[in-house]
Amino acid sequence: MKSICVFCGSSDNVSAEYITAAREMGRILTERGIRLVYGGGKTGLMGAVADGALAAGGEVLGVIIPSMNTPALAHTDLTHMDIMPEMHARKARMHELAEGYIALPGGFGTFDELFEALTWGQIGAHEKPIGLLNVKNYYVPLLAAIDHAVDEGFIFREHRDALYCAADPQKLLDAMEDHRHPNEAVKRWMRQV
């Protein structure tokens, strides 16, 4: 993987552990020669992941919309900033630029971006790896809900197993590097077999 899109929260009112983990994620991406693609913000985990990558000498590409491209929200020190006209175009551009996706802790926007990537993988629109950086067990309740959906027959086990999760960024990236897309499950889901 040469580029990873990171989805994460922009709130500053969160535990310092989340901010530290985001900064570390950015640094590790750079050390592994991976370009960071993200939403272009300077606050919360968004700013921290970008700062971590930039401080390590990494390439950081932000993708933002005009209403968020303000002095209060937009990171001004990125390698490059793409300004897209609206949110759908913004997400499409981030997907286009990424060879994988990682969700750090976040809220509705992070969940939206994560589930869109998962859904597109489920129907075969991409074969890219998707991971969760499970800082402070943030994603344990969400994973329990997903596992319940598997148990109830709404999600194939292969699709669940293709969502990688680790608290350590290196272990998460190692798992994502070994990703094998569940093509047979995609065919079953799309009723192609």
Q: Of 131, 132, 129, 62, whose CA–CA distance to 100 is shortest?
A: 129
User: 0.85 exceeded by the pTM?
Assistant: yes
Share of the chain above pLDDT 70, in %: 100
- Number of Cβ within 10 Å of residue 169's Cβ equals 23
Kindly provide the residue ranges of all beta strands, DSSP E only, lying in the chain, ordered along the sequence: 3-7, 35-38, 60-64, 80-83, 101-103, 130-133, 163-166
Confidence of residue 192 (pLDDT cuts 50, 70, 90): confident
Q: pLDDT tens-digit profile of 126-167?
A: 999 999 999 999 999 999 999 999 999 999 999 999 999 999
Number of domains in the chain: 1
- Chain-centroid distance of CA 171 in Å reads 15
- CATH classification at residue 47: 3.40.50.450
Residue 57 belongs to domain spanning? 3-189
CA distances from 141 to 97, 110, 137, 145 (A): 30, 15, 8, 6
Task: Give the pLDDT confidence score for residue 189 in this predicted structure.
Answer: 84
Nearest-5° Cα angle at 34, 33 to 36: 140
Token pair for residue 144?
A: 């329990």
At a CB cut-off of 8 Å and minimum separation 6, what does 94 contact?
5, 37, 38, 39, 63, 113
Would you put residue 122 in left (φ > 0), alpha (ψ -120 to 50) or beta? Answer: alpha
